[in-house]
Amino acid sequence: MQKILPRIQGSSQVIKNVIIKLFELAADVKNVNEIQDKPPEIFDKKQGENLEESYQEMRYPRSAEKLVLMWQRMSQDGFTSYWL
């Protein structure tokens, strides 16, 4: 989380794809094609909702949670950064 995610910032489609691929790794998702076509529903959940149960089952829960926040910022503002 502290080595890779802080280097991800921007507003391009490439950044969206990187976020999705890293989420697949952090969440230990097995069906890669499904995620590439449509991001996981967890990306669309509102901040503040209790998502702890969803994250507990993931390989790297803290990284997955941060990636979701980065995805939400990208969707709302058109730009994302680890530090925002």
**Segment 38-47 long-range contacts (CB within 8 Å, at least 24 positions apart):** 39/71, 42/68, 43/68, 43/71, 43/72, 43/75, 47/72
Q: What is the DSSP string of 38-56?
A: S--GGGGSPTTS--HHHHH
Give per-residue pLDDT as tens, 17-55. 898 888 888 888 765 555 554 555 666 554 445 555 666
The pLDDT value given to residue 47: 46
Higher-confidence position of 46 and 58: 58
How does strand 9-10 pair with strand 80-81?
antiparallel
The full set of domain ranges for the chain reads: 5-81
Q: Reply yes or no on whether the pLDDT at 79 is more than 90.
A: yes
Average pLDDT, the chain: 77
